[in-house]
Every structure is written in C-alpha cells, then in structure tokens.
Amino acid sequence: MNWTDIKITVPKAEAETAEAIATGISGGGIYIEDYSDLEQQVEAIAHIDLIEQELIEKDRSIVAVHLYLSPDENPAEVVELLKERLQKAELHSTLEISGVAEEDWANGWKAFYHAMTLGNRLAICPSWETIDTDRVVLKLDPGMAFGTGTHETTSLCLEALDEFVQGGERMLDIGTGSGVLAIGALLLGAASAEGVDIDEMCVRTAAENAALNGVDSRFIAKAGNLSDKASGTYNIITANIVANAIISLSPAVKPLLAEGGLFIASGIIDEREQEVAAAIEAAGLKVQEIRRKNGWVCILAR
C-alpha cells in the first residue's frame, strides 16, 4: 500500500488554521502549496520569465495543505477526524485523497480492521475473518462507508447500545454509514431499525451489511435527511455524525423519541462537548451521561 496524500484546499486567509489542523493530526509530513507570492519568491533567484507557465496560471487565492499518511495509518478514520476539525474551525475547505484508488478503498480496510469485542455482549468481525466467541457477532464489510467499531465514536455508541438495548425496541440511526449501529441494535434484540443517510452509497452498504447479518427483514435503509425520512416514534435514536449536525438536528429529535426514549449522540470532539450538550438540553432533552474516549465524546440523553 502506498502513502496516502490528503489534500485540504482553503482560501488563502484560512491557510494558517488549516496547516495547524493538519500538523496536529499528521503522523507523516505536511506540504504547503501556496502560489500567492510566487513572483516575489522567484525574483530573488532568477528572472521572472523563468517561471513555468503552468505555475503562473495557478490560482493565487487558495492554498493547498497536503497531509501524508504512512501505509500503516487508516485513511478513512483520519479523514473523518479532519472533517470534524475543519468544520469546527468553520473553514471553507475541500478534501481530496490520492494514493489509494477509490476502488481499492474497501480492500485497504483489511490492513487495519480485525475482529474485536465491545461491551458485555457484542463482538464485531469483518466479513473476511472469523471469530470464536459466545458473544453476539456482528459481521461487517465497511466498503466505502464510515463505521467499523474501531473509531472511538462508533465504539462508544455500540457500548451504549450493548448496555441499553433490552429487546423489542424501535430504533433510528441518523447518518447510518455502514449500518453498524442499527445492525448492532437489531442483533442485540431491537425489534426494528431504520438507517437514514444522505449518501446513497452508504444506504446500499448498510442494506448489504444487514443482509450479511440476517436482519434485513427488520432493517430499512433510507436515502435522505432526518426531516423527510423518519416516521413515528423510536425508543432509541443514534447520531454518530459531527457536532454541528447534532446541534442542528437536536430540536427534531425530541418529537421522534417515545416516552422514556434514549438519544445517543457522538462524533463530537471533546472541545465541543459542552456546546453540544447545551444544544441537546435546549431542545428539551435531559442529558443523563457523557462518556469520553481518547478525545471523543458520546452524550446520552432522554
């Protein structure tokens, strides 16, 4: 597997912040593409005519920060962390990934993703491995979708589900990704689950994983957003997404929760814990517990 190049493109004015974020995450190296003062740089060493036309035509209003990942780092999880940090900083950024072909992304997971146990009842096993255990086994093929159980936010949610699913619940998973949370709830005894995601690819992956686990008759994957896809009320609602999205959707959660229902929200970096918890409380829910793991937060509210 080659090194992976994650390119963050931002307006010139936001370059310093983007560089700081990338530097804080990178385990390899950082490279900055900044052509805003190209002529001044070249003037000191050569005549201006020596600049390649391709460089002269570069956009001077933007800066590209390249973050390089070594072959033993997981690009998918680093991208999720980058997205959260960039969004928190309110940067006008775009991300591009090279070095790992899109069609090879699923295979790339195999270098990092192995069977594991979570909570007291659950085990997660990639579709290409086997595990000898008495636990409930969730077979998973993440493909191009986020959610394997290895990331702290996913494991926090699964551990909460392992603890609180007692049997017979109706469950909604917002931003379902690979479907791991909804499928985990079903295997633990939930009666039915719906997974909503704006990404059609994630919806397909979630449905395939439900079939892989034999729970497809009790799982519905829907493409769209919460407002037009949720139906009725739910005993458990999960949202393992990002802080801003949780803040935005919190007012819509309370009407969807059944009496005594549980809202499990994660994908939140610790710096935004209080802000997200306050938004959940302002939406009429009561925060019961906040769980933390390696700089990530999971909020449980009713």
Mean pLDDT of the chain: 84
pLDDT of 89 > 80? The answer is: yes
128 or 74, higher pLDDT? 128
pLDDT of 15 > 80? The answer is: yes
Hey, which CATH number is domain 112-301, 3.40.50.150, 3.30.9.10, 3.40.50.2300, 3.40.367.20? 3.40.50.150
What average pLDDT does range 115-131 have in this prediction? 89
What average pLDDT does range 255-265 have in this prediction? 96
pLDDT for the residue numbered 52: 53
Q: What is the pTM of this model?
A: 0.68
**What is the percent of the chain where pLDDT is above 70?**
82
In angstroms, the CA 212 to CA 218 distance is: 13
In angstroms, the CA 158 to CA 186 distance is: 12
178 or 35, higher pLDDT? 178
What is the CATH T-level fold of the domain 4-100, as seen in this structure? Alpha-Beta Plaits (3.30.70)
pLDDT of 47 > 50? The answer is: no
pLDDT of 1 > 90? The answer is: no
Length of the chain measured in residues: 302
pLDDT band for position 102 (cuts 50, 70, 90): very low
244 or 251, higher pLDDT? 251
12 or 149, higher pLDDT? 12
User: Which of 73-77, 150-154, 255-259 is least confident?
Assistant: 73-77
User: Which of 90-99, 274-283, 290-299 is least confident?
Assistant: 90-99
pLDDT for the residue numbered 297: 94
pLDDT of 291 > 50? The answer is: yes
pLDDT band for position 50 (cuts 50, 70, 90): very low
pLDDT band for position 186 (cuts 50, 70, 90): very high
pLDDT of 146 > 90? The answer is: no
DSSP string of the chain?
---EEEEEEEEGGGHHHHHHHHHHH-SSEEEEEE-TTHHHHHHTTS-GGGS-HHHHTS-TTEEEEEEEE-TTS-HHHHHHHHHHHHHHTT---EEEEESS-GGGHHHHGGGT---EEETTTEEEEETT-----SSEEEEE--TTSS--S-SHHHHHHHHHHHHH--SS-EEEEET-TTSHHHHHHHHTT-SEEEEEES-HHHHHHHHHHHHHTT-GGGEEEEES-HHHH--S-EEEEEEES-HHHHHHHHHHHGGGEEEEEEEEEEEEEGGGHHHHHHHHHHTT--EEEEEEETTEEEEEE-
4-100 and 112-301, same CATH topology: no
pLDDT of 46 > 50? The answer is: no
Phi, psi dihedrals of residue 279, rounded to the nearest 5°: -65, -40
Query: pLDDT tens digits, residue range 275-284?
Result: 999 999 999 9
pLDDT band for position 199 (cuts 50, 70, 90): confident
pLDDT band for position 45 (cuts 50, 70, 90): very low
Where exactly are the structural domains of the chain?
Answer: 4-100, 112-301
* Inter-residue contact 58 to 35 (CB < 8 Å): yes
Most confident of 66-75, 95-104, 123-132: 123-132
